[in-house]
Amino acid sequence: MPTLRTLKALEREKLMTPDPRLAEAAEAMAIAVTPEMLDLIDRADPADPIARQFVPSAAETEILIEELSDPIGDEARSPVKGIVHRYPDRVLLKPLHVCPVYCRFCFRREKVGPGGEALSAAELAAAIAYIKARPEIWEVILTGGDPLMLAPRRLEKLIAVLDAIEHVGVIRIHSRVPIVDPSRVTDELLAALKPRRAALWFAVHCNHARELGPAARAALARLADAGVPLMGQTVLLAGVNDDVETLEALMRALVSCRVKPYYLHHPDLVRGTGHFRVSVERGQALMKVLRGRLSGLAQPTYVLDVPGGHGKVPIGPGYLGDDPDALSGQLLVEDAFGGRHRYPR
């Protein structure tokens, strides 16, 4: 079964009912549902959390006033095509904008797609030259699109070029491939993920424990067995994972796959994604309950990307306050189960 790429194909698979607004939604963002994700969808459940992530919805045509075409300000922080430079010591390098699936909530939904711009050889050379010329750049994050959509030989070459830049200490890859298209995790790919000198880290994007089927688990195990350190990143999404049980199951599943939960992203102000958004208060309340249920190993940091390109900040719940008894002069610290305790400043 090939990847589903059209509204007609989704209708044939009984994943959606016709609606005139869907053509507009599909026009605004490409469709791709891989066979692995299709297999996981429960067609009897109209609120299936896997389908919700990949099947276009008429709600995508509702654009809210606060929504942005570049919600995290990539453009404002891009000195050279393909580079985003937000913090002094690290850059994003986006060699292509193609993905194995198209997530309807994507923060780069107006950039990604089969027709999305890939860097030409000259543009890639200019991006590499930018990194080379700046000794303060210690970490290069390969993102896109999905960098694992590059042929393994091209990826290997790119990693080797970055590895040859002495001040680059870390090469980080962000990808959804091991989850949504696990057969791409081949021996050839594993060989490509072995820089000689720099440390390589791998962040895998996963939003629901059900995404971790046997093939995805096997792909993650191949990466972990090859010595690739794995981190998890999750987007908090209404109707997908915005309840404690689902998040708890996901974090436990990731840890059992040797993936350390890294970030829980607050959903960005992406155009046409109001139906995925959760309030900050809701996110904090979920994190508070998770704190009492999961070990530190399974705790992600709840973060918000500040619109305008100002970077990420942790927005989890606070546990410290002032003692209402001003005479004590102490702090009041809340434990993971809601108990309050005095603590000296």
Structural contact between residues 79 and 130, judged by C-beta atoms closer than 8 angstroms:
yes
Query: What is the distance of C-alpha 32 from the center of its chain?
Result: 17
Binding to ligand SF4 by residue 4, rule CB under 6 A?
Answer: no
* Angle (CA) 73 78 80, round 5°: 165
Question: Which span sits near ligand SF4 by CB under 6 A: 4-12, 61-69, 103-111, 260-268?
Answer: 103-111
Among 103, 124, 220, 250, binds ligand SF4 (CB under 6 A): 103
Other beta carbons less than 10 A from residue 282's beta carbon:
15
- In which order are the strands placed within the sheet that holds 331-334? 320-322, 331-334, 340-343
Q: Is residue 176 within the footprint of ligand SF4 (CB under 6 A)?
A: yes
Q: Considering only 99-107, 275-283, 296-304, 315-323, which stretch makes contact with ligand SF4 by CB under 6 A?
A: 99-107
As a residue count, the chain comes to 345
DSSP strands (E only) in 39-87: 83-87
Q: Which is nearer to ligand SF4, 128 or 180 (CB)?
A: 180
Q: Which stretch binds ligand SF4 (CB under 6 A): 79-87, 95-103, 184-192, 255-263?
A: 95-103
Q: Does 106 bind ligand SF4 (CB under 6 A)?
A: yes
* Dist CA 342 CA 204 (whole Å): 40
Indicate which residue of 106, 146, 184, 277 is catalytic: 106
Tell me how far apart the alpha carbons of residues 85 and 43 are, in angstroms, rounded to a whole number. 42
Residue 41 found at the interface with ligand SF4 (CB under 6 A): no
Closest to ligand SF4 by CB, 91 or 106: 106
Q: Which stretch binds ligand SF4 (CB under 6 A): 106-114, 148-156, 193-201, 282-290?
A: 106-114
**Residue count at the site for ligand SF4 (CB under 6 A)?**
11
Token pair for 18: 């016709």
Residue whose CB is less far from ligand SF4, 101 or 287: 101
Which candidate, 218, 232, 211, 143, places its Cα nearest to that of 184?
Answer: 218
Q: Quick check: is 103 catalytic?
A: yes
DSSP SS3 for 71: coil
At its nearest, how many Å lie between ligand SF4 and the CB of residue 255? 22
Whose structure tokens read 């040859």? Answer: 164
304/332 with CB nearer ligand SF4? 304
Nearest distance from C-beta of residue 276 to ligand SF4, angstroms: 12
Question: Do residues 333 and 319 touch, judged by C-beta distance below 8 A?
Answer: yes
Q: Is 92 an interacting residue with respect to ligand SF4 (CB under 6 A)?
A: no
DSSP code at position 58: G
Amino acid identity of residue 97, one-letter, is H
* Catalytic residue (one of 70, 74, 102, 103): 103
Spatial contact of 245 and 277, defined as CB atoms under 8 Å apart: no
- Which parts of 136-165 interact with ligand SF4 (CB under 6 A)? 145-146
- Interface residues with ligand SF4 (CB under 6 A)? 99, 101-103, 106, 108, 112, 145-146, 176, 205
Catalytic residues: 86-87, 90, 99, 103, 106, 108, 268, 305, 312
